[in-house]
């Protein structure tokens, strides 16, 4: 009996062990299924994953191309306009592509740098890929019965000298029939010179900031192609036309800048004449330096009488005839500002960034004796230690989802996104900073806020409405050239009609301006300015201070005005949100002005324009 019980007990034990092993095996299978499937993709699912990898690679290459073409930026810094004094703004438009200046001078004469660091480029490229990867197209596979799903991506980018490695963590699930696979990690490495080109660009930029070689070449151009200072033996005044000087300078700067070369690269074998244009810097890459007389620039000279530079002779004044000769000393002071686009390239890959070249008082600007200030996360943004609640509404008190940022001392920190109109997050401490709210379909709003005195802020956003413009002139439809401007304190829009026939507006007080232009052929005749001088009388009388009057005519060439103001006006008008919400068209009726046939009539039109109103209707 004992032996039989023992036998049954042994059998039960064996069955229990087998059951445990079976359960563990099944559990282990399901536990490891995803891990195994990531490397063992069924053959009929592999084309889908191959398409995904191709999409992934294309997104990486596109992001690299954007970085290289926009000076290391995908997310452009906030645009800052220039001024008549400093014409640059913070971005150079090159074939319609905005490129942030690495160095520029703001409209209020503050030197600024915005050089991205390598880590910042990696961050922006990662964000770009994370956004683009969600738009991969699998339509043809859906039609074949595939089921494809994926969750939020997490991207890590490493920019190396000759390649870019990207690790994408995103659950990608592919199913068809009984086959399924889940791939969590996706890694790709593309051949790219982005890293080495960026290093070369930084070397050129740092060399310029420490040595101002672009400004030195500009000074050489100035002294070769413009009167700066000197003396000439003559009894007649020296006269130059500023417009001609500036035109010669622009042409010379454009051509000579293009001739600049780096030591090494493609430029090792040069003639003696060309060595003047060689910059004593070898960065291991080729480089081009470009500028254009059509880019924003500023050329000023003093002293000048209008557009005329005039220097009078010495020696023909009364009492100086004893000199027996005349001479004309001249000294002109120039202020010149223009952009230079630096392109560093290897093969077909080009990395480019612009800098501003500034000459003040015939001298180069003061060098920044330091390496570039990199655009990293601003220092103030790293110390978010004050909790603030931000509430965002439209004008009807409906809560809005909006991106929230905080601006303080010129630095802007991303805070987060308000969901259902509310964001509670940490802000850096700042007095008189600005909370900025941005939402699709609404005008950006800034609200003054001090984190040291309050912890709640309410921001209201104005909805933008797209409405068509119907311009009439004297009550009749007008489809020719006009400029229509809507100006308010914090929001303005300008359209060139009829090329653009709609405009996005928000509620507010506007001054609406319409300028109607028509073809004209006003001939401005050439004119002359007479300059009379006392010169020593020829012969013996000159020794005794006797003089004769001698006059010189300065000729101003004729001009033709081919497009002249021939209608329009201005009108203050408060636009309600209900007007924009209920109307599809803004009808603007302007009055015509006489077609000018002379300069006097054109001047009269500008006077009449100031007193012309507009009729504005919403329908």
**Three-state secondary structure along 116-155?**
ECHHHHHHHHHHHHHHHHHHCCCHHHHHCCCEEEECCCEE
| pLDDT score, position 385 | 85
User: Cβ of 184: how many Cβ atoms within 10 Å?
Assistant: 15
How far apart, in whole angstroms, are the C-alpha atoms of residue 50 and residue 589? 60
Is it the case that residue 169 has pLDDT exceeding 90?
yes
Give the model's confidence band at 7: pLDDT under 50 very low, under 70 low, under 90 confident, else very high. very low
Mapped onto helix, strand or coil, the DSSP state of residue 370 is: coil
- Taking all residues of the chain, what is their mean pLDDT, rounded to a whole number? 82
Is it the case that residue 392 has pLDDT exceeding 60?
yes
Q: Is residue 460 exposed (0-12), middle (13-18) or buried (19+ Cβ within 10 Å)?
A: middle
**Higher model confidence: residue 289 or residue 611?**
289
| pLDDT score, position 37 | 39
Is it the case that residue 566 has pLDDT exceeding 90?
no
Mapped onto helix, strand or coil, the DSSP state of residue 264 is: coil
**CB hemisphere CA count around 236 (13 angstroms):** 8
Query: pLDDT per residue over 359-376, tens digit each?
Result: 998 999 877 654 444 444
Q: Where are the beta strands (DSSP E) in 498-540?
A: 502-505, 508-524, 527-536
| pLDDT score, position 234 | 61
Is it the case that residue 552 has pLDDT exceeding 70?
no
Mapped onto helix, strand or coil, the DSSP state of residue 222 is: helix
- Dig out the tokens for 148 from the structure: 């494809």
Which of 483, 477, 478, 470 lies closest to 514 in space, CA to CA? Answer: 483
- Asked whether 38 and 183 are in contact (CB, 8 A), the reply is yes
Instruction: Give me the percent of the chain exceeding a pLDDT of 90.
Output: 47
| pLDDT score, position 36 | 38
**Higher model confidence: residue 28 or residue 457?**
457
- Count of residues for the chain? 619
Is it the case that residue 523 has pLDDT exceeding 70?
no
Mapped onto helix, strand or coil, the DSSP state of residue 581 is: helix
| pLDDT score, position 528 | 57
* 5, 391, 447, 467, 532 from 577: Cα distances, Å: 92, 21, 21, 12, 65
Q: 536-564: b or e for each residue (b if 16 or more CB lie within 10 Å)?
A: bbeeeebeeeebeeeeeebebeeeeeeeb
Instruction: Give me the percent of the chain exceeding a pLDDT of 70.
Output: 79
| pLDDT score, position 536 | 58
| pLDDT score, position 308 | 74
Give the model's confidence band at 322: pLDDT under 50 very low, under 70 low, under 90 confident, else very high. very low
| pLDDT score, position 124 | 95
* 159, 504, 617 from 581: Cα distances, Å: 49, 12, 14
List, in sequence order, every residue forming a beta bridge with 288; answer none if it has no partner. 343
Fold for the domain defined by 380-461: Immunoglobulin-like (2.60.40)
- Asked whether 440 and 462 are in contact (CB, 8 A), the reply is no
- Provide φ and ψ at 349, rounded to 5°: -85, 130
- Dig out the tokens for 333 from the structure: 């002071």
Is it the case that residue 573 has pLDDT exceeding 90?
yes
List, in sequence order, every residue forming a beta bridge with 103; answer none if it has no partner. 113, 355
27 Ramachandran zone, left/alpha/beta (phi>0; psi -120 to 50):
alpha
* 435, 447, 458, 461, 464 from 444: Cα distances, Å: 11, 10, 14, 7, 10
What does R_g of the chain's alpha carbons equal in angstroms? 35
Q: 472-506: b or e for each residue (b if 16 or more CB lie within 10 Å)?
A: ebeeeebeebbebbbebeebebebebeeeeebebb
Give the model's confidence band at 539: pLDDT under 50 very low, under 70 low, under 90 confident, else very high. low
Average the pLDDT over 523-534 and give the result: 59
Is it the case that residue 526 has pLDDT exceeding 60?
no
Upstream peptide bond of 617 is cis (omega within 30 degrees of 0): no
How far apart, in whole angstroms, are the C-alpha atoms of residue 495 and residue 228? 42
Greatest mean pLDDT among 302-311, 391-400, 526-535: 391-400
Q: Are strands 445-449 and 547-556 parallel, antiparallel or unpaired?
A: unpaired
The contacts of residue 537 (CB under 8 Å, 6+ apart) are 321, 546, 547, 548
**Higher model confidence: residue 222 or residue 540?**
222
- Dig out the tokens for 151 from the structure: 């969750």
How far apart, in whole angstroms, are the C-alpha atoms of residue 114 and residue 106? 12
Give the containing element (helix H, strand E) for 103: strand 103-105
**CB hemisphere CA count around 483 (13 angstroms):** 10
| pLDDT score, position 303 | 84
Give the model's confidence band at 45: pLDDT under 50 very low, under 70 low, under 90 confident, else very high. very high
DSSP character at residue 545: T
Query: pLDDT per residue over 229-248, tens digit each?
Result: 888 766 556 778 888 999 99
CA torsion 381-383-385-389 (nearest 10°) is 0
- Dig out the tokens for 528 from the structure: 């002359």
- Among the residue ranges 343-347, 408-412, 418-422, 472-476, the one predicted with the least confidence is 408-412
CA torsion 268-272-273-275 (nearest 10°) is 40
Query: pLDDT per residue over 469-491, tens digit each?
Result: 999 999 999 988 788 888 888 78
How far apart, in whole angstroms, are the C-alpha atoms of residue 241 and residue 252? 17
| pLDDT score, position 588 | 95
List, in sequence order, every residue forming a beta bridge with 359; answer none if it has no partner. 336, 364
- Dig out the tokens for 232 from the structure: 């000439």
109 Ramachandran zone, left/alpha/beta (phi>0; psi -120 to 50):
left
List, in sequence order, every residue forming a beta bridge with 485; answer none if it has no partner. 494, 513
Q: Please state the domain extents for the chain.
A: 46-77+114-192, 195-375, 380-461, 465-618
Query: pLDDT per residue over 46-92, tens digit each?
Result: 999 999 999 999 999 999 999 999 999 999 998 887 766 678 789 99
Average the pLDDT over 331-337 and give the result: 93
Give the model's confidence band at 9: pLDDT under 50 very low, under 70 low, under 90 confident, else very high. very low
| pLDDT score, position 525 | 59
| pLDDT score, position 268 | 55
Average the pLDDT over 6-34 and give the result: 47
| pLDDT score, position 107 | 72
Is it the case that residue 318 has pLDDT exceeding 60?
no
Is it the case that residue 306 has pLDDT exceeding 70?
no
Query: pLDDT per residue over 58-67, tens digit each?
Result: 999 999 999 9
- Asked whether 187 and 166 are in contact (CB, 8 A), the reply is yes
How far apart, in whole angstroms, are the C-alpha atoms of residue 261 and residue 172? 49
Task: List the alpha helices (DSSP H) in 40-117.
Answer: 46-69
**Higher model confidence: residue 267 or residue 455?**
455
DSSP assignments along 281-347, one per residue: ---SSEEEEE--TTSS-EEEEES-BTTEEEE--BS-STT-GGG---BEEEE-EEEEEEEEEEEEEET
Is it the case that residue 319 has pLDDT exceeding 60?
no
Report how far apart the first and last C-alpha atoms of the chain are (Å, whole number).
Answer: 105
List, in sequence order, every residue forming a beta bridge with 241; answer none if it has no partner. 308
How far apart, in whole angstroms, are the C-alpha atoms of residue 445 and residue 436? 6
Is it the case that residue 115 has pLDDT exceeding 80?
yes
- Among the residue ranges 49-58, 111-120, 196-205, 270-279, the one predicted with the least confidence is 270-279
494 Ramachandran zone, left/alpha/beta (phi>0; psi -120 to 50):
beta
Q: Is residue 400 exposed (0-12), middle (13-18) or buried (19+ Cβ within 10 Å)?
A: buried
């Amino acid at each position: 009996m004992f032996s039989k019980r023992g036998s049954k007990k042994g059998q039960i034990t064996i069955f229990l062990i087998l059951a445990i092993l079976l359960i563990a095996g099944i559990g282990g299978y399901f536990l490891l299924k995803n891990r195994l499937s990531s490397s063992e993709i069924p053959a009929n699912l592999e084309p889908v994953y191959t398409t995904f990898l191709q999409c992934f690679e294309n997104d990486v290459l596109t992001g690299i191309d954007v970085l290289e073409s926009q000076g290391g930026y995908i997310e452009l810094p906030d645009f800052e306009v220039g001024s008549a004094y400093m014409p640059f703004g913070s971005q150079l438009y090159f074939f319609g592509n905005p490129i942030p200046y690495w160095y520029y001078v703001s409209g209020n004469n503050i030197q600024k740098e915005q050089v991205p660091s390598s880590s910042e480029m990696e961050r922006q490229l990662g964000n770009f890929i994370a956004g683009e990867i969600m738009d991969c197209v699998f339509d043809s596979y859906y039609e074949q019965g595939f089921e494809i799903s994926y969750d939020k991506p997490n991207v890590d980018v490493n920019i190396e000298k000759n390649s870019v490695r990207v690790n994408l963590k995103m659950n990608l699930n592919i199913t068809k029939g009984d086959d399924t696979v889940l791939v969590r990690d996706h890694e790709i490495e593309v051949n790219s010179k982005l890293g080495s080109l960026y290093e070369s660009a930084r070397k050129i930029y740092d060399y310029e900031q420490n040595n101002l070689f672009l400004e030195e070449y500009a000074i050489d151009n100035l002294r070769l192609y413009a009167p700066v200072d000197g003396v000439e033996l003559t009894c007649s005044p020296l006269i130059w036309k500023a417009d001609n000087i500036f035109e010669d300078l622009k042409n010379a700067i454009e051509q000579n800048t293009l001739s600049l070369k780096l030591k090494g690269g493609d430029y090792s074998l040069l003639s003696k004449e060309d060595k003047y244009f060689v910059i004593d810097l070898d960065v291991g890459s080729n480089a081009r330096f470009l500028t254009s007389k059509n880019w924003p620039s500023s050329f000023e000279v003093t002293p000048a009488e209008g557009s005329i530079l005039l220097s009078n002779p010495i020696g023909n004044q009364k009492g100086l005839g004893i000199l027996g000769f005349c001479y004309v000393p001249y000294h002109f002071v120039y202020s010149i500002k223009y952009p230079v686009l630096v392109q560093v390239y290897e093969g077909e890959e080009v990395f480019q960034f612009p800098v501003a070249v500034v000459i003040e008082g015939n001298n180069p600007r003061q060098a920044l004796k330091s390496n570039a200030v990199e655009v990293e996360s601003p220092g103030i943004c790293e110390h978010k230690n004050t909790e603030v609640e931000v509430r965002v509404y439209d004008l009807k008190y409906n809560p809005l989802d909006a991106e929230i940022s905080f601006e303080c001392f010129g630095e802007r920190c991303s805070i987060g996104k308000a969901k259902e109109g509310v964001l509670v997050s940490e802000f850096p401490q700042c007095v008189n900073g600005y909370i900025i709210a941005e939402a699709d379909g609404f005008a950006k709003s800034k609200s003054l806020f001090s984190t040291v005195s309050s912890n709640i802020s309410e921001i209201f956003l104005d909805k933008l409405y797209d409405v068509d413009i119907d311009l009439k002139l004297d009550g009749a439809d007008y489809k020719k050239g006009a400029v229509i401007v809507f100006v308010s304190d914090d929001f303005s829009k300008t359209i060139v009609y009829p090329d653009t026939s709609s405009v996005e507006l928000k509620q507010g007080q506007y001054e609406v301006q319409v300028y109607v232009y028509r073809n004209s052929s006003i001939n401005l005749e050439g004119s002359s300015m007479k300059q009379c001088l006392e010169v020593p009388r020829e012969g013996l009388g000159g020794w005794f201070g006797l003089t004769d009057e001698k006059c010189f005519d300065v000729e101003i060439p004729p001009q033709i005005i081919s497009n002249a103001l021939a209608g329009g006006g201005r009108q203050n008008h408060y636009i309600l949100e209900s007007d924009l919400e209920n109307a599809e068209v803004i009808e603007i009726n302007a009055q015509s002005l006489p077609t000018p046939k002379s300069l006097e009539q054109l001047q009269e039109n500008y006077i009449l324009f100031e007193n012309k109103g507009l009729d504005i209707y919403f329908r």
